[in-house]
């Protein structure tokens, strides 16, 4: 039986568009997400879809580059909502 440590946090990568004063594309986090990013994820749900485990980063980047993919559409939606937000 495999034992798991529930206190271990998975390294995460933000694959979305730059968010002023908060995150740049492909920033990585090893000790949880910054509070500001978490708040923005609640306000702009598309941003949350662009935070992935580091193990999925290559797959996510490939999907972001594929024209018309679901993730590319989510990226565009997040970018639009970030542009409209007053910082």
Instruction: Tell me how far apart the terminal alpha carbons of the chain are, to the nearest angstrom.
Output: 49
Tokens of 60: 């996510």
DSSP state of 19: B
pLDDT given for residue 2 in this prediction:
45
Please give the distance of CA 77 from its chain centroid, rounded to a whole number: 13
β-bridge partners, 19: 23
Model confidence pLDDT, tens digit, residues 1-60: 444 444 557 899 999 999 999 999 999 999 999 999 999 999 999 999 999 999 999 999
What's this model's pTM, rounded to 2 decimal places? 0.86
Model confidence pLDDT, tens digit, residues 18-32: 999 999 999 999 999
Q: What angle do CA 13, 85, 38 make, to 5 degrees?
A: 35
CA dist 18 and 6 (Å) reads 31
């Amino acid at each position: 039986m495999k034992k798991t440590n529930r206190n271990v946090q998975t390294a995460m990568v933000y694959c979305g568009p730059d968010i002023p004063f908060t995150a740049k594309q492909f920033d990585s986090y090893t000790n949880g997400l910054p509070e500001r990013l978490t708040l923005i994820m609640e306000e702009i749900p598309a941003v949350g879809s662009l935070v992935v485990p580091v193990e999925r980063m290559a797959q996510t980047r490939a999907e972001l580059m594929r024209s018309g993919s679901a993730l590319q559409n989510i990226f565009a939606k997040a970018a639009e909502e970030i542009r409209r937000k007053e910082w």
